[in-house]
Amino acid sequence: MYEIPKISVLVEVLLVDNETISGNMFVTEDLVSAAGNPQVEEFLNEDDDRFFPFESTAGAYRLINKQQVVYLRTEQTDEEIKEQTPIKPRNLVAHFTNDRTIYGLVYPTLQEESRVSDIINEDVDFIAIYQNSQKVIVNRNHIIYVNAN
């Protein structure tokens, strides 16, 4: 049986019912940045599967429906993205369908798409926001509105 190599990534997942689960998701080995960081948002956006494999810190193995994820908090920081783009980051506050709010920064990678509206309107479901330098991958489908400066 053919098996695709995966990398275990520690995350905290917030679901639409406000359940928070800590544990490891499994990202394909080919989705790592130049610095060796797993690109969780790329995995969630590129993989056509509706569910992703997850093992909670309690040891329970689950397949989590991507559509039910509000956001995933990672251990990654904004150190790598700061080195990749000379464009000034933008502040935003995202308000979600489950009464949660995330404030943070988004980092534009193209000068012609440097507004928060450009980033929030990208043709992907999951985008990275950096809250206190920590990478949080948010599901745009659960954002009600965004305040931007």
Read off the pLDDT band of 62 (50, 70, 90): very high
Residue 130 has φ and ψ, to the nearest 5°, of: -110, 115
The residues, any chain, with a CB within 8 Å of residue 98's CB and separated by 6 or more, are: 14, 16, 17, 18, 70, 142
Number of residues that this document lists for the chain: 149
In this prediction the pTM is 0.90
Residue indicated by tokens 């494999």: 53
Taking only the tens place, the pLDDT of each residue in 101-116 is: 999 999 988 787 788 9
- HSE (side-chain half, CA atoms, 13 Å) at 42: 10
Q: Which domains does the chain have, with CATH numbers?
A: 7-76 (2.30.30.100), 78-148 (2.30.30.100)
What's the chain's average pLDDT?
89
Q: State the pLDDT at residue 83.
A: 86
> Which pLDDT tens digit goes with each residue over 70-124?
999 999 999 888 888 888 999 999 999 999 999 999 998 878 778 898 889 989 9
DSSP secondary structure of 93-130: EEEETTS-EEEEEE--SSGGG-SHHHHHTSSSSEEEEE
